[in-house]
Amino acid sequence: MRTLLALTLALAVVPSAFASEQHPTQAELEGELVCPTCKSTLDQSNAPIALRMKQFVRSRIAAGDAKSEIKEQLVAQFGKGVLAAPEQRGFDLLAWVLPIVGLLGGAAVLAVLAWRWTRRPEDELPLLE
């Protein structure tokens, strides 16, 4: 049952991710790109450079570019600072992995401490003759 559910989920998620990469919408790209002068996402900004970037995104979508291609072109012009979220590759992958590692590490420490706290009173009980 679980395998079937996982398969169904995978089949539902993968094609939509593929469609988003191949045929990105203006709205999703505006939410994933940052205006270099005001540091907010394009959909939240009406700064002149943000308007120019929106126009650029519109023209590249119309030209049939994939989402990653459009982002790469903007990164080439303005640097990685235009990406609202770090890339999921290379050194930037650390930004995604470290919080998970931190959470898991924290959970492990809490689990060990909880185990020790629950065990201690029992260990310290005086032995009854």
Partner 1 sequence: MRPLKIAAQLGALALVLGLLGLLVWKIASDDAPVASVGKPVPRFDLPTLSGDGRVAVADHIGKPMVINFWATWCVPCRREAPLLERAAKRYDDRVVFIGVDVRDFNGDAKKFVADYGITYPIAYDGPGKLWEPWGITGLPETFFVDRGGTIVAHKIGEISEETELDEAIRKTLS
Chain centroid to CA 85:
6
Contact string 63-102 vs partner 1 (x = CB under 8 A): -------------xxxx-x---------------------
Q: Is 27 in a helix, a strand, or coil?
A: helix
| 48 near partner 1, rule: CB under 8 A | yes
Cα–Cα distance for residue pair 75/23, rounded to 1 Å? 19
Q: Which of 20, 36, 41, 66 forms a contact with partner 1 (CB under 8 A)?
A: 36
d(C-alpha 100, C-alpha 94), whole Å: 10
Contact call for residue 40 and partner 1 (CB under 8 A)? no
Give the distance from CA 10 to its chain's centroid: 18
- Kindly list the residues in this chain that would bind partner 1 in the complex (CB under 8 A): 36-37, 48-49, 51-52, 56, 76-79, 81
